[in-house]
């Protein structure tokens, strides 16, 4: 059993849309395959995000979506790992860890200052995964949201 990961493009859109729609449903959003396809298609077409697609035993298994931001203080790019999803059938096979490692490699290879992500305080499984993969919680920053 092997996991492969590649940077997705428009040719992967149908596969990605199905995974993305399942991801959104996990977060209690209504199914909207056409909307998922349109949203991801726009991100790819405009170069607004990077999507890494995982296949486990040649079956689409999961993805990460990275968005670029910039640090003014450090004067460089930082990637936000905004979305990480592994299909239920592919869980517990190392796919999530492989996606995290691929995201780190992508950011490093591109000269980024680093990656950041956020997760819900009660998402203990994800927090455990991130810690095991070498991510550290930033105790110095607080995020504030307006509407």
List the domain range (segments joined by +) for residue 121: 3-132
Distance between CA 19 and CA 24 in Å, rounded? 9
Q: How many domains does the chain have?
A: 1
Distance between CA 58 and CA 123 in Å, rounded? 29
> How much is the pLDDT for 137?
84
Q: At which residue do the structure tokens 């596969």 appear?
A: 15
In Å, what is the CA distance from 72 to each residue of 68, 69, 77, 81, 106?
13, 10, 9, 19, 21
> How much is the pLDDT for 67?
97
Asked if residue 37 belongs to a domain, the reply is yes
Distance between CA 91 and CA 83 in Å, rounded? 16
Asked if residue 144 belongs to a domain, the reply is no
Asked if residue 140 belongs to a domain, the reply is no
Greatest alpha-carbon span in the chain? 45
Asked if residue 40 belongs to a domain, the reply is yes
What rounded mean pLDDT belongs to the chain? 93
Asked if residue 106 belongs to a domain, the reply is yes
Asked if residue 124 belongs to a domain, the reply is yes
Asked if residue 143 belongs to a domain, the reply is no
**What residues of the chain score a pLDDT lower than 70?**
1, 142-145
> How much is the pLDDT for 53?
98
> How much is the pLDDT for 47?
96
Distance between CA 22 and CA 140 in Å, rounded? 34
Question: Can you give the pTM of this predicted structure?
Answer: 0.92
Q: Which CATH number fits the domain that encloses residue 67?
A: 3.40.630.30
Distance between CA 74 and CA 95 in Å, rounded? 32
Asked if residue 14 belongs to a domain, the reply is yes
> How much is the pLDDT for 141?
72
Q: At which residue do the structure tokens 């428009």 appear?
A: 10
């Amino acid at each position: 059993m092997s996991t492969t990961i590649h940077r997705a493009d428009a040719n992967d859109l149908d596969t990605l849309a199905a995974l993305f729609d399942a991801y959104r449903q996990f977060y209690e959003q209504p199914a909207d395959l056409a909307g998922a396809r349109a949203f991801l298609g726009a991100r790819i077409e405009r170069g607004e995000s990077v999507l890494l697609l995982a296949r486990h035993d040649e079956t689409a298994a999961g993805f990460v979506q990275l968005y670029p931001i910039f640090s003014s203080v450090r004067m460089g790019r930082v990637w936000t790992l905004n979305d990480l999803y592994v299909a239920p059938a592919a869980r517990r096979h190392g796919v999530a860890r492989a996606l995290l490692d691929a995201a780190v490699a992508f950011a490093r290879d591109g000269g980024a200052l680093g990656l950041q992500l956020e997760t819900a305080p009660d998402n203990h499984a994800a927090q455990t995964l991130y810690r095991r993969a070498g991510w550290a919680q930033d105790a110095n920053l607080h995020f504030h949201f307006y509407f």
